[in-house]
Structures are given as structure tokens and as C-alpha cells.
């Protein structure tokens, strides 16, 4: 990638990451905090999930030691 525009490289890498995230995770929507706990405490099958959580819910998950990450996902209509 030497000699390429750094912004173009970043955009390409972000696009690849987003594609992986959207195709290899299950969208559990607003049930994310509960489902993350269920997976962490072995009350549900281990799998990669994504969904929505408030800042407070996110902080509670982190405080419990549940590994979570925040990624902005653009709306489907905004994807090129």
C-alpha cells in the first residue's frame, strides 16, 4: 500500500472491517446488554453479536468485566 493516499487506505480498511462486522455477527438490537450477559455467563450459545446499548448500559457491561466495543455503524441507506 506504499504510495497510496492514507485517507483512501483508511477508508478501505474501515470498509473491510465494517463488512466483516456486519456479515459475521448477529444483530440483537436493543436486547444487546441482556444477550451479552447471557453469552458471558454461559446462559446462551457463544456467538458474535452486535446491537444497541446506552452509555449507561455499556458502562455496566464493562464494570461487570464483559468485553464489549463500540463501533459506529452507518444506516444501511448510507452505505455505498
Q: What pLDDT score was predicted for residue 4? A: 83
SS3 assignment, position 54:
coil
CA atoms within 13 A on the CB side of 30: 1
Question: Global pTM?
Answer: 0.79
What secondary structure letter does DSSP report for 1? -
* Mean pLDDT along residues 4-26: 92
Asked if residue 39 lies in contact with residue 55, where contact means CB atoms within 8 angstroms, the answer is no
Mean pLDDT, range 47-66, rounded to an integer: 97
Angstrom distance (rounded) from CA 13 to CA 7: 10
Amino acid at each position: 500500500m506504499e504510495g497510496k493516499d492514507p485517507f483512501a487506505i483508511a477508508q478501505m480498511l474501515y470498509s473491510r472491517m465494517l463488512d466483516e462486522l456486519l456479515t459475521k455477527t448477529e444483530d440483537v438490537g436493543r436486547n444487546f446488554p441482556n444477550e451479552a450477559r447471557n453469552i458471558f455467563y454461559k446462559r446462551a450459545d457463544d456467538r458474535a453479536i452486535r446491537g444497541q446499548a446506552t452509555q449507561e448500559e455499556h458502562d455496566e457491561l464493562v464494570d461487570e468485566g464483559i468485553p464489549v466495543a463500540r463501533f459506529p455503524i452507518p444506516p444501511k441507506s448510507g452505505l455505498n
